[in-house]
């Protein structure tokens, strides 16, 4: 049963499970989901993963043609280890962004996401006690180089004669 079916017919006993994965090469994936029970699900890659239950609040971006589409979420009970890992990446000069993947599952079918995952870049994390509030964007325009093509001697060999 896909998301369009659940919204159209609203079957009883089937709930939405929001699952959030925060990844970066410098720390192990942080996986959390909404609800009171840890969920073992199958990712779109076929990998089986366990998401820890937490008080997860997600504000999805509008599906429109506006230039800025942000995903906002808040997670309760963020461990100090996760907080330190995210802050260490943000404070470093590491060019690799922190990736946030949002998946929505139906409680009746954890074998695949109910819709394609949203892949975003972490833009603005804020920690208050054990709560993390984060804004993610499809495209981090603020930190994007302009012009996108860097005119180096590898890209344009004629530059070395200028």
Give the pLDDT of residue 54: 83
Q: Burial-class residue 43 by CB neighbours within 10 Å (0-12, 13-18, 19+).
A: middle
**pLDDT at residue 1, rounded to an integer:** 44
Nearest-Å Rg of the Cα atoms of the chain is: 19
Q: Tell me the CB-side half-sphere exposure of residue 100, using CA atoms within 13 A.
A: 28
SS3 18: strand
Q: Tell the residue number behind the tokens 């603005």, with chain if given.
A: 124
- What pLDDT does 3 receive? 47
23 contacts 44 by C-beta, under 8 angstroms: no
pLDDT of res. 80: 72
- Stretches where the chain sits below pLDDT 70 are 1-11, 61-69, 77-79, 139-148, 162
Integer Cα distance of 90 and 67 in angstroms: 24
Q: Is 53 exposed, middle or buried (0-12, 13-18, 19+ CB in 10 A)?
A: middle
Q: What is the pTM of this model?
A: 0.73
Tell me the pairing of strands 48-54 and 27-34.
Answer: parallel
Residue with tokens 């970066």: 24
Q: Which of 56, 36, 47 is nearest to 102 (CA)?
A: 56
């Amino acid at each position: 049963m896909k998301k369009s079916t659940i919204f159209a017919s609203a079957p009883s006993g089937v709930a939405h499970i929001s699952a959030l994965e925060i990844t970066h090469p410098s720390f192990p994936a942080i996986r959390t989901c909404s609800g009171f029970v840890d969920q073992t699900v199958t990712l779109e890659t076929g990998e089986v993963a366990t998401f820890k239950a937490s008080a997860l609040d997600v504000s999805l971006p509008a599906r429109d043609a506006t230039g800025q589409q942000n995903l906002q979420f808040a997670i309760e009970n963020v461990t100090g280890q996760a907080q330190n890992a995210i802050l260490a990446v943000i404070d470093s000069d590491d060019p690799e962004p922190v990736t946030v993947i949002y998946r929505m599952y139906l409680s009746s079918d954890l074998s695949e996401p109910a819709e394609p995952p949203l892949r975003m870049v972490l833009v603005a994390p804020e920690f208050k006690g054990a709560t993390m509030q984060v804004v993610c964007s499809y495209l981090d325009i603020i930190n994007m180089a302009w012009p996108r093509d860097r005119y180096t001697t590898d890209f344009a060999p004629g530059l070395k004669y200028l």
